Amino acid sequence: MATFKQYVTSKGEKRWLFQTYLGVNELTGKQDRAMRRGFKTQKEAKIAEARLQTEYAEGLTESEKPKTYREVYKQWLTEYEKTVRGSTLLKTKRIFKNQVLDVFGDFYINEITPLMLQRQMDTWSKKYASAAKFMNYTGLVFKYAVRFGLIDRNPADAIIKPKAKKKKKEDDAFYEKDELKLFLESLDRVGQPKAKALFRLLAMTGMRKQEALALTWNDIDFDKAVIDINKAVSRDDTGLKIDETKTVGSTRIISVDSKTLDSLLEWKSFIEPPTNDYLIFGHENAVEPLDIMSMDTPRKWLLDVQDEMGRTSEKKLKRITTHGFRHTHASLLIEMGASLKDIQYRLGHEDIGTTMNVYAHISKASKEKLANEFDNFIDF
């Protein structure tokens, strides 16, 4: 006897489920029952229940039984988690939990069609800028299923994805030399020593925020004026932790200017760390050397400084993200005539192509500014 019920998902969508009695297990003597959920219509649920009854009656072995998308996802995840950093794994799990498994998890993987995926793609694209990314991850499980002969082809390959929406202007924005000078002046007025040291370090070295927050005092040689970047903060299921750098190329030793070193020394004398094993930008109430500061704190500091810039400037200034200081540093390197190879090493790019993309973006912005300035200059 099967029962069919309609329910509402965590996203407020109506779905159908069924519970059914299959029979008595000959080995255990116990009743076998099953439940499946996620069906858009009662008809889909009834078809799936009938198919399950047939499979049970035919006594298929476990390896012969069709797998649900969720079952294959769990197998794929076991393999995938060995290939990525903890922070990447956490993001991936969230995408599947929040977007994918609620929709496809309880369907047999060989029953999910390109049309079903396209409809979901269209639904996602109306709500999320990351819709194409959701589908890319969805397709990884199908790709795994193809490798192991569970399905013949990947239905996600047939999907038409929407064009990626343009990033917010501040996502790619950077400060030019005069804007950076204004930022640092504003930072001196409203920033605490910790913020002053952090943002000057980001602007004058181009290191990632995750790399800066993982630095200890042992990583800086004040006599030789160099910083050893050899680790980064990442996030996994347990929270923040000190991890390896993003790529092999991200591990590097770079020079640092004297004013930035002075700013760091000022911060060090302010907090007087018990030993040089402590994080430079650790948690405010650190009791252990590697107590990590919240990743959101620098953003709050940045907004305060940008508000101050807005009050003192005669014109409206663009806002940049913390990551924008990497592009800011790259723009300074380009302006002083550094080679692509030098920029690649200093920014810790594994691939020269990434450096070239940054170079092209900054060069384009500079050319547009020059064109605008020329247009304003010519008034006839």
Task: Give domain limits for the chain.
Answer: 1-61, 66-165, 169-377
The single-letter DSSP state of residue 279 is B
Q: What is the pLDDT of residue 21?
A: 86
Mean pLDDT for all residues in the chain: 86
Q: What is the dihedral of CA 171, 325, 212, 269, to 10 degrees?
A: -140
Q: How far is CA 110 from the centre of its chain?
A: 30
Domains 66-165 and 169-377 share a fold: no
Taken in order 325, 327, 329, 335, the sign of the CA dihedral is negative
pTM of the prediction? 0.65
How many Cα atoms occupy the beta-carbon half-sphere of 236 within 13 Å? 10
**Cβ neighbours of residue 194 under 8 Å, at least 6 residues apart?**
267, 270, 271, 281
| pLDDT tens-digit map of 328-364 | 999 888 888 888 898 899 999 888 888 888 777 766 6
pLDDT band at 302 (very low <50, low <70, confident <90, very high): very high
Find tokens 């200890």 and name the residue: 216
The DSSP line for 48-110 is: HHHHHHHHHHHT--TTTSPPBHHHHHHHHHHHHTTSS-HHHHHHHHHHIIIIIHHHHTTSBGG
Q: Quote the pLDDT of residue 323.
A: 93
Burial class (CB in 10 A: 0-12, 13-18, 19+), 341: exposed
CATH topology of domain 66-165: DNA polymerase; domain 1 (1.10.150)
What are the beta bridge partners of residue 24? 31
What's the CATH fold of domain 169-377? hpI Integrase; Chain A (1.10.443)
Mean pLDDT of 93-111: 93
Q: Comparing 376 with 322, which gets the higher pLDDT?
A: 322
* Residue of 116, 48, 105 whose CA lies nearest to 76: 105
